[in-house]
Structures are given as structure tokens and as C-alpha cells.
Structure 1
Amino acid sequence: MFEEQSYEAIMERMLERIPDDIDKRENSVIWNALAPAAAELAQSYIWLDQVFDLVFADTAQGEFLDRRAAEVGITRKAATSAVWSVEVAPEGIRIPIGSRFYIDSLYFQYQSDGTLKCETTGAVGNGNFAELPLLSLDNIPGLESVIFGELKIPGQEEEDDEALYERYLMRARREAVSANKAHYKKWAEEVEGVGRAKVFPLWNGEGTVKVVITDGNFDVATDLLVNKVQEYIDPVPGEGEGQAPIGATATVESAKWKDVEVSVSVELKMDYSLEDAQQEIEEKIKSLLKSLAFEENVIRMSAINDILYHADSVSDYADVLINGESKNLPLQDIEIPRLGQVNVIEQA
């Protein structure tokens, strides 16, 4: 907005106000007296331009976006902790709630529901710990071993600016009101550990609502997470004990997997191996499928072709198939895609 207010432009305007019979050449007394003030004014215009970006929600960042969101009752989601199931030996031994366990510089606390919650928030607690033993930091008589089961609720990093801005817009535009579809979606995604939610009104008759969720990694949600969302939205069907209004019966379910296989014939660029191409293509397709979860109901050939076209390891490609066919792959409303296999063949 203030790009034209440069040091040179300000200095020129200031010198124009000086009578011509006074020496105002560069390095003259007047010029040297005005130059520092012109520099400070130019810097002030730069700061003022930044201030305009920070006061409007679409360009605000960090704490300034937090303050705009707070005006409509929205707060940034804090980082959350990973929750794991555990296998304890001997079976039936009593472990005090709050008992601490250790693995790979991470500490976990035993919860009342028999799970372990990571003391460190964020995705760090989502590591490949399945079937690994933990070290107990407390003296628990009779305890022989505690072994990780499965990741029940993935830990999530603090909500980023883009996601916060989307929730701000939903509230500011009053899209989520009076228990409409957007309101149910908002309620579900407020629960710690939920990634995305999709709402199906009147799915089983009048007054019924189905909410289908993914976890924070946009994967199929565990029963533990589904139950948490159910308790938050509608713990007693129709009674209005949760967020859902009286008379509405909400049912929460997890999304379902749709396995996806991709095959392609490629011509490799120099200095790249078939393994390089396989790894690059797999990683990019996985990222694509994550982004599609509950956002799109189809996996498009054009999206796969775009990945192959821009792949660093691929010079040319042909014979692209998704689940054995050279056409778009539709997804059902409750399905989220999961990459099963990528078959990359080198052209002869």
C-alpha cells in the first residue's frame, strides 16, 4: 500500500520544501540534516504496511491471527499427546494411575482407561513403538513387562495458521449455527485427536445425524476416539446431554479405508534408479491421498499424472493405472484412500 513511500521519494519531497537559494545538494548541511528523518519515515511506512497485514484475518499470522480469532470465540488448538494401548504382564496386575514409563527419551503416563499418554505433546509420540517394551519408572510390585499395543489417538502439533483461519471464517460467517451440518462438523473436529469430520443428516430417519471422522493423521479412527466424539456430541441419544440439541440422535463412526494401487511405466532420468523413482512416487501419492481425505470423492488420473510429470526421477511415463483401470477412482462418502502398492516398471 505504501510502496511509493520510499526513502528517495520522501527525501525528494522534503528537499522541494527548501528554498532554492539554499544549498541542498547531496552531502550539504541541509541534505545531511534531512536524510536521517527521511530514512526513519521510510521505515515507518514499511512498518505501517506490515501492520495492515496483521490486523486483517486473511493476512494475519501467529499471535495476531489468534487475537482476531478470539474476537469470535475461536482459540488455536493446542498440541495434543499420543495415546497408546498397552499389553501388561502378568495379565490383571494393578498399575496405579499416573505411573510413568520411558522409551526413547519419551515419558508416558498410565491412564484410568488402561492406556498410556505421552507427556510430550505433538507427533513425536506417534513413533513406531508397536510391540516395543517400556521401562517402568515406578516400583510396581509383580509387574513383569509393559509393551506398546496400537496407537489409539495420534498426537497432533499445534494448529497452524491456515487451519485456524478456516475455523475463524466458519464462525465469522456464521456457517456453524443452530445444530446445522457445519455445527456438527465443528463439534466433531473440536475433540482432541480428530482430523476431519463429515456429517450425514437424516441418515436413519427424522432427528438422526451420522458423523464420520478421521483421526489427526487423516487415517481411520480407533474405537477410543470414536467414543470420545460420541460422548462430546451426544452421550445419551436424544437427551441433549452433549452438544447435540434435545431430540437429535447423533451416531459417530469412523471412516473406512479404500485401498488404492497405482501402476506406471517410466523412463528414468540420468543418475536415478528404479528404487529412487519408486520411493519418490510413493511418497508423493501418499501425500496426495492424505489431502483428499473427506475433501474429495474421487482420485483423479490428472492428479497422478501431475505427480509423475513433476517427479525429479522421471523423464517420461506411460500406462498409468489406478486399481487396474486408466480412469478416475470414485470414493464412497465414508471412504478415505490408502495407498496399498505402487508398481513402477522401467520402460525398455
Structure 2
Amino acid sequence: MYEDMTFENIMVSMMEDMPDGLDTSEGSLIYHSCVKQAARLEEVYVELAALTDNQYADTADLDHLVQFGQERRTYIEEATAAEFEGVFNVSVPIGTEFSGDDYNYIVTDVINEEEHKYRLECEDPGIAANGWLGDLMCLDDIDGLEDAALTKLLVEGKDEEDEESYRMRIMDSFGIQAFGGNRAYYKERIGAIDGVGGVKPYRRKGTIIPIVIISDEYRKAESKLINDVQTQVDPIEQTGEGIGIAPIGHSVSITTVTEYIVNVSAVATYDTGYSAEGLKTQVENAVEEYLLSLRKNWINSDSIIVRRAGIENAIYNVEGITDVSNILLNGGTENITLKENVIPVKGVVSCS
């Protein structure tokens, strides 16, 4: 709006307004008397342009965009920390700290006490720690502890939401409005509950409004999470009374996705220095990443299709593999088309 209000243009305008016959050339007394004012006016117009831009969501800077989002109840997705499975040779207390690959990790929960498996959380949020697994060094004094390692990524860490992605979500919020009981309302409110990774509300069936959720690990939600969500949305003992976030008169039933195990077999050609045994973990991880990408898209799909070509491409991209053939999914040569709200999980992966 004020792009033309530059120092040069302001000076030209000032000199044109001077009385006829007055020397306005550069270096003249009147010219020098106006220079500082023109420079200051240029600064004022720059600040005024920024103020104008920050009045609108499509041009606001990030700080003002966050304020817009708060008014729209559309909040920026903050960075989250990665969570891992760790295995030790002895039991370790909750809260024990470890170090590995320039990051610190803290034990937050027990996975399997007998096998000494625990859930650890990286102390630094973001995606940087997602790709590392390996031996850990204990920062506390634990009797008998000799072996400590991160063995599996359970929940990916996430960076703070990209500014333009957040801007688009705010702009989208001016479209379909979330209000008590519509589809957008349930997606927004249930999706904000800790542990929920996606929400699918359905049209009322009889007296019940069915809602299906997936966990934030993009797996079947555990019974505890289902019960927690049910209680927050519409407690079973007082269903339809509007005690939770569901409006009065809405009887809501929370269920979760069903998991379908996909076993994979393939034949690969290996580059010099590589072997099937040596790349076994990498191949399994590649298959898991492909299936995870399908699960992440569950929210946008009526039916997930596990494609042989997708599996083949995932394995082919593993370093050390030069060719892939004879892909079988659960022993068959066809793609697997899953029913609605069924998600694929990795079973046995064999790559000879």
C-alpha cells in the first residue's frame, strides 16, 4: 500500500511543493533541511505498512498470526519430543536420565518390567532426534546397569508447525465453522485431546453418533485412551446430558480403528558388500515407514490400499539393494484393499 513512499519519492514531492524560484537542487539549503524529515517519514511509512499487513491473517507476521489463531481457536502446533523404547539389563526407576547422540532422554513409563523395556522421551523437542537408535550412557547411578540402548522409535518428534501451514489452517477456519455438534466441531475438540491422532465423526445411527479415533502413534487406540475420550466427550453414565463436550441430546460412541497385519516377502538383489541378513532391519524399517504413511492418511481415506508397488519402492530405496522382485502380500500377488477404518500394520517381513 505504501510501496511508493520511499525516501527518494518523498524528497521529490517535498521539492515540488516548494515556491517557484527557490533553489531545490541537491546540496541546496532547503534540500538539506528536508533530508532528515524525508528519511524519518520513510521509516514511518515502513512501520505503517507493517501495521496494515498485521491486520490481516494472509499477510500477518508469525506473532500476529498466533493472535489471529487464538481468536479463531486455531492454535499453532508446538514442537513435540520423540518417544522411544529402551531396553536395559536391569530395572531402572522412572525419571532416570540417559545420554546418546548429543541428546538426553528420560524414562517416563514401563513397557515390560520383566524384559526391562521402558518408554523414554527425548528432552529436546523436534524431529532431529527421530533418526537415531543405539547405546545410551546413564547420567544417574544405577546398580548393576551395564547395557542400555534405544531400540525403537515409538512416537516421532515434531517441529513447530510451519508458518505458512498454520496460516492456511487459519484461513480455512473462515470456511466451515466449528459449532456445537457439527463435524468440524467434533474433529477440532476431540483431535485436541492428548493421545488422539485423528478423528472421523459419522452421521447419527439410530440414537448414537459414532466417532472413530486413531492414536497419535497412528495405531489402534488402547482401551484407556478410548475411555478417556468417551468420558471427555459424552460420559456413558450420563449420555446425552451434555456433561462432556458433546452438546445436550447427543449420545456419542467412541471406537477405534482395527489393525490388519500385512506380511511381506520379496526377493532382492544386493550390491557388493551387502546381504539380506545385514539389511534385514533396514528393510523392515522401510516397510514400516510405507505402512505408517498409509496410516497417517487414514483420516482422508474411505479405504486404505496396500500396494505391492509401494512395498517394492520402499525396499528398493534401501541403500545396498539394486533390484526387487516377487513381492507377496500375505502370500498373494494382489494389492490389499482394506475395509473402512481398518489400518495396515507390519507383520513378518522376509527379503531374501
TM-score normalised by structure 1 residue count: 0.63
1:336 Cα deviation (Å)? Answer: 7.9
After superposition, residues 12-51 of structure 1 pair within 5 angstroms as 12-51=12-51
Q: Secondary structure, in 3 states, of the residue corresponding to 2:54?
A: helix
- The answer to whether the aligner puts 1:103 opposite 2:107 as a matched pair is no
Q: Secondary structure, in 3 states, of the residue corresponding to 1:64?
A: helix
Going from structure 1 to structure 2, the CA distance change for 1:289 and 1:103 (only over 3 Å counts) comes to same
What is the one-letter code of the residue matched to 1:124?
A
- 1:248 is aligned to 251
Q: Kindly indicate whether the alpha-carbon contact (under 8 Å) linking 1:83 and 1:154 is maintained by their aligned counterparts in 2.
A: yes
After superposition, residues 155-304 of structure 1 pair within 5 angstroms as 155-169=157-171, 175-192=177-194, 196-202=198-204, 205-213=206-214, 215=216, 220-221=218-219, 223=221, 228=225, 231-232=228-229, 234=231, 236-237=235-236, 239=238, 243-244=245-246, 248-254=251-257, 294-295=299-300
Q: Kindly indicate whether the alpha-carbon contact (under 8 Å) linking 1:200 and 1:209 is maintained by their aligned counterparts in 2.
A: yes
Going from structure 1 to structure 2, the CA distance change for 1:293 and 1:38 (only over 3 Å counts) comes to farther
1:73 Cα deviation (Å)? Answer: 4.1
- The answer to whether the aligner puts 1:7 opposite 2:11 as a matched pair is no
What is the one-letter code of the residue matched to 1:208?
I
1:60 Cα deviation (Å)? Answer: 1.4
1:290 Cα deviation (Å)? Answer: 9.8
Q: 2:154 aligns with which of 141, 152, 155?
A: 152
Q: Secondary structure, in 3 states, of the residue corresponding to 1:69?
A: helix
- The answer to whether the aligner puts 1:84 opposite 2:75 as a matched pair is no
- 1:311 is aligned to none
After superposition, residues 106-125 of structure 1 pair within 5 angstroms as 106-114=103-111, 115-125=119-129
Q: Secondary structure, in 3 states, of the residue corresponding to 1:123?
A: coil
Going from structure 1 to structure 2, the CA distance change for 1:223 and 1:144 (only over 3 Å counts) comes to farther
What is the one-letter code of the residue matched to 1:220?
Y
What is the one-letter code of the residue matched to 1:60?
A
> Any idea what the Cα deviations from partners look like across 1:41-98, whole Å, max 9, x if unmatched?
23322332222212211221211111222234444332111222333435xx4x3221
Q: Kindly indicate whether the alpha-carbon contact (under 8 Å) linking 2:201 and 2:209 is maintained by their aligned counterparts in 1.
A: no
1:178 Cα deviation (Å)? Answer: 0.9
| Stretch deviating more after TM superposition (23-32 or 226-235) | 226-235
Q: Kindly indicate whether the alpha-carbon contact (under 8 Å) linking 1:102 and 1:134 is maintained by their aligned counterparts in 2.
A: yes
> Any idea what the Cα deviations from partners look like across 1:126-148, whole Å, max 9, x if unmatched?
2242xx34333223334453443
Q: Secondary structure, in 3 states, of the residue corresponding to 1:55?
A: coil
> Any idea what the Cα deviations from partners look like across 1:193-230, whole Å, max 9, x if unmatched?
6555443344x653232234474xxx733646x85476
Stretches of structure 2 lacking an aligned partner (at least 5 in a row): 112-118, 263-285, 305-335, 346-352
What is the one-letter code of the residue matched to 2:167?
Y
Percent of aligned pairs sharing the same letter: 27
- 2:140 is aligned to 138
- 2:52 is aligned to 52
Give, in whole Å, the separation in 1 of the partners of 2:47 and 2:5.
12
TM-score normalised by structure 2 residue count: 0.62
Going from structure 1 to structure 2, the CA distance change for 1:254 and 1:220 (only over 3 Å counts) comes to farther
Going from structure 1 to structure 2, the CA distance change for 1:120 and 1:47 (only over 3 Å counts) comes to same
Going from structure 1 to structure 2, the CA distance change for 1:9 and 1:138 (only over 3 Å counts) comes to closer
Going from structure 1 to structure 2, the CA distance change for 1:40 and 1:239 (only over 3 Å counts) comes to same
- 2:271 is aligned to none
Q: Kindly indicate whether the alpha-carbon contact (under 8 Å) linking 2:199 and 2:213 is maintained by their aligned counterparts in 1.
A: yes
Q: Secondary structure, in 3 states, of the residue corresponding to 1:52?
A: helix
1:121 Cα deviation (Å)? Answer: 1.0
Give, in whole Å, the separation in 2 of the partners of 1:222 and 1:298.
16
Q: Secondary structure, in 3 states, of the residue corresponding to 2:129?
A: helix
What is the one-letter code of the residue matched to 1:97?
I
Q: Kindly indicate whether the alpha-carbon contact (under 8 Å) linking 2:107 and 2:121 is maintained by their aligned counterparts in 1.
A: yes
Give, in whole Å, the separation in 2 of the partners of 1:170 and 1:230.
31
- The answer to whether the aligner puts 1:61 opposite 2:61 as a matched pair is yes
Q: Kindly indicate whether the alpha-carbon contact (under 8 Å) linking 2:104 and 2:123 is maintained by their aligned counterparts in 1.
A: yes
1:182 Cα deviation (Å)? Answer: 1.0
Going from structure 1 to structure 2, the CA distance change for 1:55 and 1:159 (only over 3 Å counts) comes to same
